[in-house]
Chain A
Amino acid sequence: MNGLGIIKGMVETARNFVGSYHDAERLTTVQYPEQKLPPVENARTIPFLVFDGDDAMAGLRCTACVICEKECPPQCIYIVKDQVKKPDYVGKMQVQPKVFDIDISVCMSCGICVEVCPFDAIKMDQVFELSTGDRFGKLLLDKKQLAKPNDYFVKLHKTEATEIDVRREEDKRKAEAAAAAKAAAAKPPAAPGGAT
């Protein structure tokens, strides 16, 4: 019958109206500042720098290779290499960044820096309450503000972080084994010499 569709639609809206008072399914809004949705693992906002251990600056995984700086489409990353090197997780000496700035007002959250990083040093964060009254000072984050511990990374992106941790553990073990083998290989010439 003509006009039946309108009545059906109006019944549906009426059910929404009445249901919104007793049925949570029909009132799905979250009252944001007081209530928050649980974080989603794949959510990503701006990049941050991962560090290992307790000292943020000493444990920084970044080796200032500037691949991310070159790949960044809106050019929001600014890196200056330091002259002083520091050992990385397998004990190899690596360059470290003297300056690592990200202008988050320019960042477009594409995640390309994360994809190109060979050191798993830069990852996507989930913070979103970034508004500030000072758009020049507060939106330019330096490496101290960007550095977050690995535990934090594990908390955000569990699957990815665990995978990386396992791989790095493996690398570390191999490096140690190689070092031990090298040490063992370096020893035998000395032993026969001592014998003779």
Chain B
Amino acid sequence: MAGWFPTSVQPLVSALLAIACIMPLFGLCFALTTIVERKVLGRMQNRFGPNRVGPYGLLQPLADGVKMLTKEDIVPFSADKTLHFLAPLVLTVPVWLAFAVLPIGRNMSAIQLDAGILFFFAVGSASELAVFMAGWSSQNKYSLVGAMRAIAQMISYEVPLVLSVVPVLMLAGSLELNDIVAAQGTYTIGGLACWNVFTPWGFAGLMLFLIAATAESNRSPFDLPEGESEIIAGFLTEYSGFKYALFFLGEYLGLFAVTGLAVTLFLGGWHAPFQWLEWVPSWLWFAGKFGALIFLFIWVRATLPRLRLDQLLNYAWRFLVPLCLINLLVAAVWYWSGTWKSPVAVPVRWLVCAALIALPYHGLARILRGALPPPRKYSYAE
């Protein structure tokens, strides 16, 4: 392959090849997720979900796409036309960039950046700007309220999202995602993989990361920015047709990106759970873990009701951020106790680390419950 092109154009060709793989792959994944999400949500709510278009409703994404693209593109009269046009693009383009550093299989990351995870969070943060652009330029009070909520939420949850990742970086000693995957590539004597999730700090970290990721991608129960029962559709209110579809695409791709990162950081990336399963293609393992996490997100969406804004922010600042900091401490203890190898010391190490995260969890939850205002009395409703 390398011999087919002159050396000067090889970087360009390799970049184009990576783009040609990533874009259709995750685009198809988007289409598949929309139908799977609707079917699973339906089943969890005792109904069928879409089952009319094609066999088992599988062509539904196609019908949705045609519907979206043929809709009229309405721009409000008093909207800021330029910003209104740019917002969906500003949301979607950086999200695609985030996939560049994700290793979706053995030797399968588009670029190997030494500060890959930094790059990931840097481009991921651009979505906040896009959301506020959309809300501000629409000249609509619901859009603006939605955008303000989105900013409050995304900035609050950016902190625990990044903090929950730090223990992984500490123990792997690298910001490069391929190195982090390689650090989880060893197996214990029993043949079980040494993934980060199988440690106390790793499990706590994954939970914290998933909660923060749900909020970052504006998904239920943290879907306040588009709370349709309160503010129509939040910052999406004035968008229609293709722009709306782009926003939708951007949100789902953002979800895929953080899910891929969760797989990479905590679930051993593309490694098999047992050594004797390493012959299965690495990208299949990645896809399996990825799919399981996406299912978990759908499952949570079907279960939990939406939070109130004060609950949301209290939860981030009074619960998640302190727990993330404590998790750093736990990771440090785990690191320094790495030399305890005797049969007595290993369970002690586990117990100490588990208690160090479980007790603050319990205490913080009690404090959080005490900090909330007392239940409202509806004097007129009785």
Contact = CB atoms under 8 A, between A and B. Distances in A.
Given A2-B362, A2-B365, A20-B43, A13 B303 contact: yes
B21 interface: no
Contact of B299 (A10, A26, A28, A29): A10
B48 A2 contact: no
Contacts of B361: 2
Interface in B37-73: 40, 43-48
Contacts of B40: 17
B302 interface: yes
Interface of B, secondary structure class, is helix
A3 B300 CA distance: 13
Given A2-B361, A2-B365, A29-B48, A14 B299 contact: yes
A13 B365 contact: no
A76 B168 CA distance: 72
Given A2-B361, A2-B362, A6-B304, A13 B44 contact: yes
Contacts of B300: 10
A180 interface: no
Interface in A17-35: 17, 20-21, 26-29, 31
Contacts of B365: 2-3
Given A2-B361, A2-B362, A17 B303 contact: no
Contacts of A21: 43
Contact of B43 (A9, A12, A16, A31): A16
A16 B304 contact: no
Contacts of A20: 43-44, 46
A20 B43 CA distance: 6
A28 B46 contact: yes
A18 B261 CA distance: 29
B303 A9 contact: yes
Contacts of B303: 6, 9-10, 12-13
A17 B43 contact: yes
Contacts of B302: 13
B45 to A, nearest CB: 7
B67 to A, nearest CB: 21
B48 A31 contact: yes
Contacts of A2: 361-362, 365-366, 369
Contacts of B304: 6, 9
Contact of B47 (A9, A14, A29): A29
Contact of A13 (B48, B299, B362): B299
**Among all A-B residue pairs, the 6 with the closest Cβ atoms:** A2-B365, A29-B47, A20-B43, A13-B44, A9-B303, A13-B303
25 contacts: A1-B362, A2-B361, A2-B365, A6-B303, A9-B304, A10-B299, A10-B300, A13-B44, A13-B299, A13-B302, A13-B303, A14-B44, A16-B44, A16-B45, A16-B46, A17-B43, A17-B44, A20-B44, A21-B43, A27-B46, A27-B47, A28-B46, A28-B47, A29-B46, A29-B48
Given A10-B300, A27-B43, A29-B48, 17 more contacts: A1-B362, A2-B362, A2-B365, A2-B369, A13-B302, A13-B303, A14-B44, A16-B43, A16-B45, A16-B46, A20-B43, A26-B46, A27-B46, A27-B47, A27-B48, A28-B46, A28-B47
